[in-house]
Amino acid sequence: MAQLKAAADEQQEAALHGVASGGGNESNKKARAGLCGLLRERKVVDLARAKRRLVEVPYTATLAHTANALLAARVSAVAVAAPPGHWIGAGGSMILESDPATGAVRKHYIGMVNMLDILAHIAEASDDDEAADLDRRMAVPVSSVIGHSLEGLTLWTLHPSTSVLDCMETFSKGVHRALVPLESSADNVVALELVESAPGYRMLTQMDVVRFLRAHGAELRGVLLRTVRELGAVNDTVFAVSGVTKVIDVIKAMRAASLTAVPVVDAVGSGTETLQYGSGQRAVETFSATDLRDCPVARLQAWLGISVMEFKRKVAEYRASTRLVVPGADATDTGTPVAGYADTPAAAAATDEEQSEQQESALVTCSQESTLGEAIEAATSRHVHRLWVVDEEGLLRGVVSLTDILRAVREAALGEDLELHSIVP
C-alpha cells in the first residue's frame, strides 16, 4: 500500500504552516507573501467542499449504463464502487468509504472510468463487423474496462490538507482528476495517496483548479499578464484528423496515441494514416471524448460509420433537442437535484458548463502571444480543456492544455518564491 508524499524541506514547511521564529518577524511575513504563499495556504478541501456529490456506478453496471450515467450527469468520469474485501483497486489503491457513525467500511472504489475507457473497448471491435458487435460490447460490466485508458491505470486521492500548490504539481504531470475525502483518517500526508478511508469524497479536477486561479486573478496578475509563449505553455506537437474521416477510425487512432481530443482540419490527408501532423493546417472543429459522451448509446451504433463532421452536426442537433439535466443529479436518477445543491457555487458553475455544452461549440483558439490570463478565461468560460494555438493566418501551431496552464503557473510561483527568499534575510 504505497503512498506518494510531497518532499518538503524545513523552509517549505515553515511557509506551509506559518511557522516563524521570533513571532511576527517581518522577514518571514514577506517570505510567505506572493503567489506561492496563496497557493500554499489554500487547501484542496476548500475547493472540494463546493463540488456536488460523487457520481458513481456499481461494478456490475454495463458499459451502456455507464455511458448513460456520464451523459445524464454531464461528467467526464465516474467512480466504480464495489463491496469491500473482494477487489484490488486500480494501481493497488485502497480507497474506501466508511459509515460516518460507526466507521464500518461500506464501499470500495476500485477505479475510475471515463469515456476513453469505453471508447478503447469499442475500438477493439473487428473491422468487418464492428457495428453489429457494439451491442454485445456495451453489455459487459464496467469493472472489465478499468484501466483501458492511461489515466485509469491508477486511482488517486488527495489528502484534504494538500495545498493547491502540491495539487498543481500532481495535475501538471498528467493526472486529470483525483478524489478528495472531506474528512481523512490519515495524518501528515500532503499529496497523492493510494490508501484512504473516509465517510465521503468529492471529485477534484484540473478545471476546478484553473477556475480557482481565475477567481484569484488579482493575486496572479503578474503571471497572468505574461504570454503563453513566454511561460513555455505551448506544445508545438499537435495531431489532427480530416473532417471526412469515419468516427470509428478516429476513436481507434485516439486510443492508440492516448489522445483525449484532436483538431479537425479541412484538408484531406494524403497518406493512409488517420492522424496527421496538424501544424500549418487550418482547423475547423474539435473532436473529443465529450462528443462521444454526448452521443446517446441508442444512436452510437448507427453513428460510428459516419464522418467526424457529420457526427458533430448530429450531436449538436441532439443536444439542442434534449432538455437540460438538473446539475447535481445523481447518475442514475432523472434530474432530481441533491438537497441544498442549487444554492452552492458549484451549482452556478455547473449551470454555466451545462449551457455552454448545449451550444454547438466553435473552435476555441489562442495565439502564442495570448496572455495566460486570456487563455484561462477562454478555457473556463467555454469549458474546454485545451486551446488550439494558431498563427496570424489561422493555421495550427500548437496546443495549450489545462496541464500546460497548471504547470506554467506552478513554475512561475516557485520561481517567484525563490526570488522572495533570496532577498529576505
- Residue 359: pLDDT above 60? no
Task: Give the pLDDT of residue 35.
Answer: 82
Nearest by Cα to 107 from 127, 82, 86? 82
Which residue type, as a one-letter code, is found at position 280?
G
Statement: residue 127 has pLDDT above 90: no
Q: What percent of the chain has pLDDT over 70?
A: 75
Specify the CATH number of the domain 10-216.
Answer: 3.10.580.10
Residue 279: φ, ψ to 5°: -60, 130
Q: What is the separation of C-alpha 12 from the centre of its chain, rounded to a whole number of angstroms?
A: 28
For residue 5, pLDDT beyond 90:
no
Q: How confident is the model at residue 328 (pLDDT cuts 50, 70, 90)?
A: very low
Q: What 3-state class would DSSP assign to 371?
A: strand
Alpha helix (H) ranges present in 230-371? 247-257, 289-293, 297-303, 308-321, 345-358
* 239-423: CATH architecture: Roll (3.10)
- CB atoms under 10 Å from CB of 422, counted, come to 7
What region, left, alpha or beta, does residue 183 occupy, with left being phi > 0 and alpha being psi -120 to 50 degrees?
beta
- Is residue 80 within 8 Å of residue 112, measured between CB atoms? yes
Please state, in angstroms and rounded to a whole number, the distance separating the CA atoms of residues 46 and 204: 11
Instruction: Give the best-scoring range by mean pLDDT among 26-30, 168-172, 321-325.
Output: 168-172
* Cβ atoms within 10 Å of 284's Cβ, excluding its own: 16
Share of the chain above pLDDT 90, in %: 42
Q: Cβ(27)–Cβ(21) under 8 Å?
A: no
Pairing outcome for strands 195-198 and 261-265: unpaired
pLDDT digits (tens, 9 = 90+) for 9-60: 433 333 333 333 344 444 444 434 578 889 999 999 999 998 988 999 999 9
Residue 213 C-alpha cell reads as 486561479
User: Cell for 237?
Assistant: 506537437
Least confident of 254-258, 285-289, 341-345, 414-418: 341-345
- Report the chain's mean pLDDT, rounded to a whole number: 78
Name 56's Cβ contacts closer than 8 Å, sequence gap at least 6.
Answer: 78, 79, 80, 81, 109, 331
Q: What is the chain's alpha carbon radius of gyration, rounded to the nearest angstrom?
A: 22
Does residue 56 contact residue 78 with C-beta atoms inside 8 Å? yes
Residues contacting 77, CB < 8 A, separation 6+: 70, 112, 113, 114, 115, 177, 203
In the chain, where the domains are located: 10-216, 239-423
Measured CA to CA, the distance from residue 273 to residue 188 in angstroms comes to 50
Report which DSSP code applies to 112.
Answer: E
What integer pLDDT is reported at residue 252 of this predicted model?
Answer: 87
